[in-house]
DNA sequence: ATCGTAGGCGCC
DNA sequence: AAAGGGCGCCTACGAT
């Protein structure tokens, strides 16, 4: 059907109705290259994947999600949103904005879909068969869904995706390091595939265990709204009985908690747990309040409502699955994000994350990823040498003539912008012994402070925005500049670490699939792989091999005289996430 | 009534 | 002198 080879770009769109019969009414899936287009069924997409292994150009995770839902897991992708975020920073974008940026068109007044009203009837014929309007912009109606109204339009939409990918590749080629940025674009695109699969598969979670854990914190499941109110009041009473009689304070209002504390003779600027920690012995109410807070967190965020909303079944086995939405590169530095509490499950709840019968988890996290990444991206020879040690802080401490704890605080402080306390003194030692790494951070901080954008090692644009100088005091301006400095400094390390992690993750995704294993959780520097018991050892070996492969591909050219930076994992095979030792 | 912000806390 | 970054999610609260 198509003259394509492995890795060639092929535009792919899938309409809301999925793929009907090829060319027939309702066939809204289409593929396109620069020379051919076709309406296709999802079966035909699967065949093309198996026979040609192209790199599928998709507008967003929506297409990938439709594929996964249809049971198709492709190897390669070019995700236009993911590459857009790499090139231009920021968050999600629609086709209109992506196209405009690539073509040098202003994005200040992007065409909008006008809601149909008495005077503005949408005329389906008006949109024609060209997704690009006379002014060069993408027709907003197309982006809003009109592209799926006919096979011809779907084909044109797939063709536009292909053309957009070509434009993006052109911009990557025009960068200072085309090979590296292209590698990042491909890795980030694969991460979006992984995200679609994570969202579909879900994290194995034992409902009964989860219920038991919740119950241990907040008591039994309420039978009604009224019952819930009673139980809530009972939990509040455990704190309020320590309060002055006839007083009325709302524990959920930080301001009122502050007033309450003042009434019992405790004056604080805020009521955060770490601040109250040292005041535990001052008054029994403090202890009760801290326990209440912990329970309240479970009750509101990880309680029965959370369970009911986000935990469903595996379609095959009926086992519990916690599902959320996944994004491959949200936020400043391009980390993965997840909803439904997947990225911030309380430690106590991990006891409910249990592998299916006959399956286990291979859990692996990257050891000291940020200082190792700093060594790699900065090209600091001395720091790269230190990375040879299982514990980087040991050689650093020896070099600086301080204890390990001080060395660790100093290194972390340097990366995060902290310059006070014990770290400050050791910072000077870092400057002397690891000048390249420290200067890398300082340069990022200086650039960020004046509001200039940065790019991570992998090429992601970190936008610094602009300070609103008119309504802040001189003092605030300075603190804003300092904050921007910390932000930029941190984004360079955290961002590069995120890129490296994703390269590792997508490599694992590809390698363990033949074993029947699947990644079920990505947690910034940690992978949880669900694998059949008999494949556990092989999976574990692959996870480690993939790290070495990723490290080799990610930083192939160490500075002359420097050893390659060493990366390592802490790896365990477990039946329950809580069994991980740490 | 709806919205955005702030305080707070979970994880890395 | 002092300064930690990121995210999601909850509640209260003030502004609109």
DSSP letter at A574 equals E
Nearest Cα neighbor of A380 from A425, A419, A414 is A414
Q: Residues by CB within 7 Å of nucleic chain B, which ones? A: A 254, 257-258, 270-274, 293-294, 297, 343-348, 365, 523-526
Nucleotide nearest to A294 (CA to C1'): B9
Q: Which residue is nearest to nucleotide C7 (CA to C1')?
A: A337
What is the rounded distance in angstroms from the CA atom of residue A146 to the CA atom of residue A157?
A: 10
Interatomic distance A282 CA / C4 C1' (Å): 29
CA of A139 to C1' of C5 (A): 40
CA distances from A443 to A89, A439, A500, A514 (A): 20, 6, 21, 45
Q: State the average pLDDT over residues A465-477.
A: 45
In the structure, how far is the CA atom of residue A482 from the C1' atom of nucleotide C15, in angstroms? 30
* Kind plus residue range of the DSSP H or E element containing A240: helix A225-240
| Measured CA angle at A144 (ends A142, A148), to 5 deg | 60
Nucleotide C1: nearest residue by CA–C1'? A420
Could you tell me the distance in Å between the CA of residue A262 and the C1' of nucleotide B8?
19
Q: How far is the CA of A416 from the C1' of C10 (A)?
A: 27
Structure tokens at A481: 């500049």
Residues with CB under 7 A from strand C: A 250, 252-253, 255-256, 300-301, 306, 324, 327, 330-333, 335, 337-341, 343-344, 412, 416-421, 482-483, 486-487, 490-491, 494, 524
pLDDT of the residue at A123: 58
The answer to whether residue A472 scores a pLDDT higher than 50 is no
Residue A466 has what pLDDT? 47
| Nearest nucleic acid nucleotide to A333, CA to C1' distance | C6
Residue–nucleotide distance: A210 CA to B1 C1' (Å): 36
Q: From the CA of A137, how many Å to the C1' of B12?
A: 40
DSSP codes of every residue in A449-513: HTT--EE-TT--EE------GGGS-HHHHHHHHHHHHHHHHHHHHHHHHHHHHHHHHHHHHHHHG
Structural domains in chain A, CATH included, are 9-111+125-174 (3.30.420), 207-306 (1.20.1060.10), 311-367+499-579 (3.30.70.370), 370-498 (1.10.150.20)
Taking the CA of residue A395 and the C1' sugar atom of nucleotide C7, their distance in angstroms comes to 32
Measure, in angstroms, how far nucleotide B2 C1' is from residue A14 CA: 36
Closest CA to A566 of A576, A577, A552, A553: A552
Using the structure, give the distance in angstroms from the CA atom of A225 to the C1' atom of C14, rounded to a whole number. Answer: 28
Residue A284 reports pLDDT greater than 80: yes
pLDDT in tens, A198-251: 999 999 999 999 999 999 988 999 988 888 888 888 999 999 999 888 788 889
**What's the CA–C1' distance between A300 and C10, in Å?**
6
Give nearest nucleotide to A488 (CA–C1').
Answer: C5
Name the closest residue (CA) to the C1' of nucleotide B12: A524
**Digit-coded pLDDT (tens) for A555-575:** 866 667 778 999 999 999 999
pLDDT band at residue A474 under the 50/70/90 scheme: very low
Per-residue pLDDT at A425: 74
Smallest CA–C1' separation from A340: which nucleotide? C8
| Nearest alpha carbon to residue A70 among A49, A55, A92, A94 | A49
**Would you say A565 and A556 are in contact if contact means Cβ atoms under 8 Å apart?**
no
**Mean pLDDT in residue range A40-69:** 95
Count CB-CB contacts under 10 A for residue A316: 7
> pLDDT tens digits for A18-29?
655 444 444 589
> Which strand C bases fall within 7 angstroms of a protein CB?
2-13
* For residues A169-188, average pLDDT: 96
Q: Specify which residue's alpha carbon is closest to the C1' of nucleotide B7.
A: A254
**3-class SS shares of chain A: helix, strand, coil, % to 5:** 50, 10, 35
Angle ∠(A377,A382,A388) on CA atoms, nearest 5: 85
pLDDT on residue A19: 55
Find the farthest-apart pair of alpha carbons in chain A and give their distance in angstroms, rounded.
Answer: 82
pLDDT at A322 over 70: yes
At residue A254 the predicted structure's pLDDT band, cuts being 50, 70 and 90, is confident
Residue nearest to nucleotide B6 (CA to C1'): A254
| Pure H helices in A128-204 | 140-143, 151-173, 178-201
Count CB atoms within 10 A of the CB of residue A556: 11
Mean pLDDT of A78-88: 94
Nucleotide with the nearest C1' to A484 CA: C5
Give strand letter and number of the nucleotide nearest A332 (CA to C1'): C6
Q: Is A8 left (phi over 0), alpha (psi -120 to 50) or beta?
A: beta
Q: Which protein residue's Cα is closest to nucleotide C4 at C1'?
A: A416
Share of chain A above pLDDT 90, in %: 62
CA of A463 to C1' of C2 (A): 26
pLDDT category of residue A416 using cuts at 50, 70 and 90: confident
Residue A171 (CA) to nucleotide B2 (C1'), in angstroms, measures 42
Max avg pLDDT among A39-53, A441-455, A555-569: A39-53
- Strand B nucleotides, any atom under 7 Å from protein beta carbons: they are 7-12
């Amino acid at each position: 059907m198509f003259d394509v080879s492995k890795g060639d770009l092929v535009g792919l769109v899938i309409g809301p109705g999925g793929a009907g019969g090829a060319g027939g009414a309702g066939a809204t899936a289409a593929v396109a290259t620069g020379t051919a287009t076709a309406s296709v069924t999802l079966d035909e997409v699967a065949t093309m994947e198996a026979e040609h292994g192209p790199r599928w150009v998709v507008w967003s995770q929506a297409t990938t999600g439709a594929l996964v839902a249809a049971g198709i897991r492709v190897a390669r992708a070019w995700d236009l949103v993911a590459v857009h975020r790499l090139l231009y920073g920021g968050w999600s974008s629609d086709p209109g904005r992506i196209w405009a940026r690539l073509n040098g068109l202003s994005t200040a007044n992007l065409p909008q879909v006008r809601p149909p009203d008495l005077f503005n009837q949408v005329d389906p014929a008006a949109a024609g068969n060209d997704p690009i309007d006379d002014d060069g912009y993408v027709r907003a109606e197309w982006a809003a869904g009109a592209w799926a109204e006919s096979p011809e339009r779907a084909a044109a939409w797939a063709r536009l995706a292909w053309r957009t990918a070509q434009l993006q590749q052109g911009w990557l080629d025009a960068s200072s390091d085309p090979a590296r940025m292209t590698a990042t674009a491909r890795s980030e695109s694969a991460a979006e595939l992984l995200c679609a699969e994570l969202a579909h598969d879900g994290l194995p979670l034992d409902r009964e265990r989860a219920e038991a854990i919740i119950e241990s914190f907040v008591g039994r499941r309420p039978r009604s709204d009224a019952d819930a109110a009673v139980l809530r009041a009972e939990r509040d009473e455990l704190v309020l009985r320590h309060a002055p009689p006839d007083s009325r304070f709302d524990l959920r209002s930080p301001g009122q908690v502050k007033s309450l504390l003042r009434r019992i003779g405790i004056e604080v600027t805020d009521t955060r747990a770490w601040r109250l920690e040292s005041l535990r012995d001052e008054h029994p109410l403090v202890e009760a309040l801290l326990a209440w807070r912990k329970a309240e967190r479970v009750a509101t965020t990880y309680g029965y409502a959370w369970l009911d909303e986000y935990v469903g079944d595996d379609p095959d086995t009926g086992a519990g699955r916690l599902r959320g939405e996944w994004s491959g590169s949200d936020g400043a530095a391009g980390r993965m994000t997840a909803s439904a509490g997947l990225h911030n499950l309380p430690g106590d709840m991990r006891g409910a994350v249990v592998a299916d019968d006959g399956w286990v988890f291979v859990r692996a996290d990257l050891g000291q990823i940020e200082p190792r990444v700093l060594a790699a991206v900065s090209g600091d020879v001395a720091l790269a040498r230190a990375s040879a040690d299982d514990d980087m802080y040991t050689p650093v401490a020896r070099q600086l003539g301080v204890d390990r704890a001080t060395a660790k605080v100093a290194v972390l402080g340097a990366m995060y912008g902290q310059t006070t306390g014990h770290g400050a003194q050791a910072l000077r030692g870092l400057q002397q012994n690891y000048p390249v790494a420290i200067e890398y951070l300082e340069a990022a901080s200086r650039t960020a402070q004046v509001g200039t954008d940065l790019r991570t090692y992998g090429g992601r644009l970190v936008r610094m925005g602009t300070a609103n100088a008119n309504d802040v005091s001189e003092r605030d301006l300075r603190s804003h500049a300092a904050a921007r400095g910390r932000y930029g400094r941190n984004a360079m390390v955290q961002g590069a670490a995120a890129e490296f992690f994703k390269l590792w993750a997508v490599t694992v995704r590809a390698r363990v699939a033949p074993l029947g294993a699947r990644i079920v959780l990505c947690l910034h520097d940690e992978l949880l792989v669900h694998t059949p018991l008999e494949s556990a050892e092989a999976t574990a070996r692959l996870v480690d091999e993939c790290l070495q492969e990723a490290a080799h591909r990610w930083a192939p050219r160490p500075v002359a005289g420097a050893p390659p930076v060493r990366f390592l994992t802490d790896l365990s095979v477990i039946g329950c996430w809580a069994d991980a030792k740490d």
